[in-house]
Structure 1
Amino acid sequence: MNASHHHESPVAPPSFPSRLPNVGTTIFTVMSALAAEKNAVNLGQGFPDFECDPRIVDAVARAMREGHNQYPPMAGAAPLRQAISDKIASLYGRHYAADSEITVTAGATQALLTAILCSVHPGDEVIVIEPTYDSYLPAIELAGGVPVFVTLEAPDYAIPFERIAAAITPKTRLLLINTPHNPTGTVWRAEDMRQLEAIVRDTNLLILSDEVYEHMVYDGAPHESVARYPELASRSFVVSSFGKTYHVTGWKIGYVAAPAALTAEFRKVHQFNVFTVNTPMQIGLAQYMSDPAPYLELPAFYQKKRDFFRAGLAGSRFQLLPCTGTYFQCVDYSAISDLPEAEFAQWLTREIGVAAIPVSAFYHAPHESGVVRFCFAKQERTLAAALERLARL
């Protein structure tokens, strides 16, 4: 072979129009990189910096050693689907059949994408309540759907039901809701669910309910799952995540509960975009779930962190917004700076040494409220180190 071949300029690949032309590097990647570079305390991205329960690791290791290493059923390992069904029934009073109404997914993000791809046709309208988690819009775009935005406003982020009702048209296929809500830390209450029931009663729309923070609702309040409300449950895909609940975000296992007819459509897409999810983790999770204490104790565990973090900011010039759920605390920084949110978040990382996420990143168009989001799913010493720096402001 002629050596000169190695020096020819590389051939460019054929170009083609992007399926997601508006997607660039996410704010989470940018802020995490900046935090690492500046050795800042990273309260940006939402993941714990502490270990999970060693018993759950043992359960997965045992499943591997016991030979649970081949494909499980497409919809998920039977013991795990049964455990999920039992959990939902005990907490929310609705029975989902383990065989036909529960599907185990490769994390909640895959669950959301698959639910959208299986139900949204090109041109269908999808109502999105902003600020919104960053995977929703690309998923709608991939399905050819048309997002219709309903906006929540700081500081209380109240749900504008009249605007949701006004957004529904004959072309509306799906409504996305998220409670407890990322990024605002707000939760839907029973009266909110009843208002939603009344709005959708005579429509044909489906609901995708993102409930990954279901075990992080504070001050003694219950999590209001759509599963509690028969009229809503009958038209809903309910999504949750073991990563959030058991401090194992890197395991990427979640699930979807939906009526059999919706589940049948969901599984058609699920079968061909992941087929199924790793077996030993499913078997280990099923075994670990036999004790409900880890998720029943989670609200108190995270409320303690929330209260510690809020107390530490009480003397600062940050204005604390309400946090009734999730492991996120939003703050209004307008008494400290008039920089736009993204610039303030970068200034805070570079100069103060604490990384946060601008809430403007969760809106589809420029939207400045002077609010950033901190994640308090951290060890107390991590939070203390961040608070020591933030308290100077």
Structure 2
Amino acid sequence: MTCTALPAATPDLATPPVAPAPMAYAQWVAAAVALARQAPRPIVSLFESAVPEPRALLRQAVLATVEPDFSPRYVSAFGDGNPFVRAMLAQSHGVDIDQVLCTTGATGGLALLYRALLRPGDRVLVEVPGFDLFAGAAQVQGIGVDTFTRPAPHFGIDVEQVAAALRPETRLIVVSDLHNPSGMGIPRDTLVALAHLAQARGVLLVVDEVYGDYADKASRPGPACALSPAVISLSSLTKIFGLGVLRCGWIVGAPGVMATLRDYAARAEFGVSTLSHAIAAEVMLRADAFADHWRSHVARARPRFAAWFARMVDAGLMAGELPDAGCICFPALPGIADTRAFSEMLIAQSGVIVAPGEFFGQPGHIRIGFCLPDAELDAGLAALEAALRQAAGNRLAI
């Protein structure tokens, strides 16, 4: 059989070419993993920001859903989501069940928020550094994006700066707590001030809380949506429970805004999986066991990483602070401006993957996820240290 090449398209010289969108973080991770797989050695995923998947506990939840017969919680998730998941979330958030909407993960929830609440000409205000989809999911809809800075090393929020960045067209302020990529928490008084600002200015404050439960109750007594009708909480089972495979997320907010979101979801959102959210219901019934899983992993990994990180800071190879909770941090790499190039060199040399700051809007930094088994964590940190020392030596040799 002879294959004939298709003729090349004739360019329309009167129409300017469309510039490709910048590479998204998820695209870079896929390319990074592909690069790491080219060498016959283990990949160390220091870019991961979740705890390891709890497979034994997940297997129990799956079996409880389907064996010996389908669980009573195996019901349609069409529309608002699995009613058992919604009821448990309503109870934990202290709201009515109609104030809870299940989504296909937190990223699916973010996209739904933007599609349901934003119109041409609207704008969103997002944090920098921050999760690239906060801006990217708006930009693909043609929504304008403005930013405010969360400066290192504490990555705090200046509420006056946020207020000054608001425009008449701003509809949403979007933040993360705990912060992605730094893991730093928003002090409660700052979050209260942001909620009051949003309510006074007639905008909505969306708080991504996927890492929130790592924080203790003293610093984070409850979800942000409890602070004001102008606040929406967004979260999932992905980071804390290590269950990204279930794609179970949720949105919680005031009755009026949730009615709008539920109406939109009923018209256009059909991707929530009945099976995976039924399993999620079984997970939530066993929440204590899953919480023990993440707490044990963080309790073991944090001291190992903290000791290593302190040595790197003392040696001048890193700068910054370790957050009080969780399993990620976002240090600066002194003397390394192009952290994407550094990260790709690290992959090629050792198969270790860290997340470049460029994808969070802050070159010169990397995000490290350190909730890994001991041997894997030690090997990854050793390779990262060797690359940092090599880079420092090269600078001294110039």
Q: Tell me which interval the TM-score lies in, with the shorter structure as reference length.
A: 0.7 to 0.9
Contact residue 248 and residue 280 of structure 2 kept, 8 A: no
Of the structure 1 ranges 269-278 and 159-168, higher mean CA displacement relative to structure 2 is found in 269-278
Of the structure 1 ranges 277-286 and 234-243, higher mean CA displacement relative to structure 2 is found in 277-286
Give the direction of change, closer, same or farther, for the CA distance of 1:19–1:385 in structure 2 (3 Å limit): same
Contact residue 189 and residue 224 of structure 1 kept, 8 A: no
Post-superposition offset of 1:307: 2.4
Equivalent of residue 374 in structure 2, options 380, 384, 392 = 380
Contact residue 210 and residue 239 of structure 1 kept, 8 A: yes
Separation in 2 of the partners of 1:219 and 1:264? Answer: 30
Residue 310 of structure 1 is matched in structure 2 by 306
Post-superposition offset of 1:376: 1.2
1:82 maps to 2:79:
no
Give the direction of change, closer, same or farther, for the CA distance of 1:243–1:109 in structure 2 (3 Å limit): same
Separation in 2 of the partners of 1:151 and 1:131? Answer: 7
Residue 47 of structure 2 is matched in structure 1 by 44
1:290 maps to 2:293:
no
Contact residue 20 and residue 142 of structure 1 kept, 8 A: no
Q: Counterpart of 2:173 in 1: which secondary structure?
A: strand
Separation in 2 of the partners of 1:275 and 1:14? Answer: 38
Of the structure 1 ranges 314-323 and 208-217, higher mean CA displacement relative to structure 2 is found in 314-323
Post-superposition offset of 1:277: 1.9
Separation in 2 of the partners of 1:181 and 1:295? Answer: 22
Residue 251 of structure 2 is matched in structure 1 by 256
**1:317-328 mapped onto 2 (5 Å cutoff):** 317-328=317-328
Contact residue 179 and residue 213 of structure 1 kept, 8 A: yes
Residue 57 of structure 1 is matched in structure 2 by 59
Post-superposition offset of 1:346: 1.9
**1:205-284 mapped onto 2 (5 Å cutoff):** 205-217=203-215, 221-222=219-220, 225-229=223-227, 231=228, 234-284=229-279
Separation in 1 of the partners of 2:205 and 2:106? Answer: 15
Residue 92 of structure 1 is matched in structure 2 by none
Contact residue 313 and residue 390 of structure 1 kept, 8 A: no
Q: Aligned residue pairs: how many?
A: 373
Give the direction of change, closer, same or farther, for the CA distance of 1:293–1:47 in structure 2 (3 Å limit): closer
Give the direction of change, closer, same or farther, for the CA distance of 1:186–1:67 in structure 2 (3 Å limit): same
Give the direction of change, closer, same or farther, for the CA distance of 1:36–1:45 in structure 2 (3 Å limit): farther
Separation in 1 of the partners of 2:181 and 2:209? Answer: 13
Give the direction of change, closer, same or farther, for the CA distance of 1:201–1:265 in structure 2 (3 Å limit): closer
1:331 maps to 2:331:
yes
Separation in 2 of the partners of 1:61 and 1:36? Answer: 33
Post-superposition offset of 1:210: 0.6
Contact residue 156 and residue 322 of structure 1 kept, 8 A: no
Residue 186 of structure 1 is matched in structure 2 by 184
Separation in 2 of the partners of 1:13 and 1:210? Answer: 46
Give the direction of change, closer, same or farther, for the CA distance of 1:341–1:261 in structure 2 (3 Å limit): same
Post-superposition offset of 1:177: 1.2
Post-superposition offset of 1:57: 2.4
- 2:61 partner amino acid: A
Give the direction of change, closer, same or farther, for the CA distance of 1:372–1:24 in structure 2 (3 Å limit): closer
Q: Counterpart of 1:194 in 2: which secondary structure?
A: helix
Q: Deviations over 1:324-370 (max 9, x none)?
A: 34421222221xx434211222233333553211112112xxx43x2
Residue 91 of structure 1 is matched in structure 2 by none
Residue 31 of structure 2 is matched in structure 1 by 30
Separation in 2 of the partners of 1:71 and 1:390? Answer: 47
Residue 96 of structure 1 is matched in structure 2 by 95
- 1:181 partner amino acid: H
1:71 maps to 2:76:
yes
Give the direction of change, closer, same or farther, for the CA distance of 1:73–1:274 in structure 2 (3 Å limit): closer
Give the direction of change, closer, same or farther, for the CA distance of 1:215–1:295 in structure 2 (3 Å limit): farther
Separation in 2 of the partners of 1:383 and 1:219? Answer: 28
Of the structure 1 ranges 12-21 and 112-121, higher mean CA displacement relative to structure 2 is found in 12-21
Equivalent of residue 198 in structure 2, options 187, 197, 200 = 200
Separation in 1 of the partners of 2:83 and 2:365? Answer: 44
Contact residue 54 and residue 290 of structure 2 kept, 8 A: no
Post-superposition offset of 1:170: 2.2
Contact residue 321 and residue 332 of structure 1 kept, 8 A: no
Give the direction of change, closer, same or farther, for the CA distance of 1:176–1:9 in structure 2 (3 Å limit): same
1:9 maps to 2:6:
yes
Post-superposition offset of 1:273: 4.2
Post-superposition offset of 1:172: 1.4
- 1:305 partner amino acid: A
- Gapped runs of 5+ residues in structure 2? 390-398
State the TM-score, normalizing by the size of structure 2: 0.83
Q: Deviations over 1:75-97 (max 9, x none)?
A: 11211111111222xxxxxx221
Q: What percent identity do the matched residue pairs reach?
A: 21
Post-superposition offset of 1:238: 1.1
> What is the root-mean-square deviation in Å for CA atoms of aligned residues?
3.0
- 2:382 partner amino acid: E
Give the direction of change, closer, same or farther, for the CA distance of 1:378–1:218 in structure 2 (3 Å limit): farther
State the TM-score, normalizing by the size of structure 1: 0.84
Give the direction of change, closer, same or farther, for the CA distance of 1:166–1:203 in structure 2 (3 Å limit): same
Runs of 4+ in 1 over 4 A off after TM superposition: 10-21
Separation in 2 of the partners of 1:59 and 1:158? Answer: 38
Contact residue 75 and residue 278 of structure 2 kept, 8 A: no
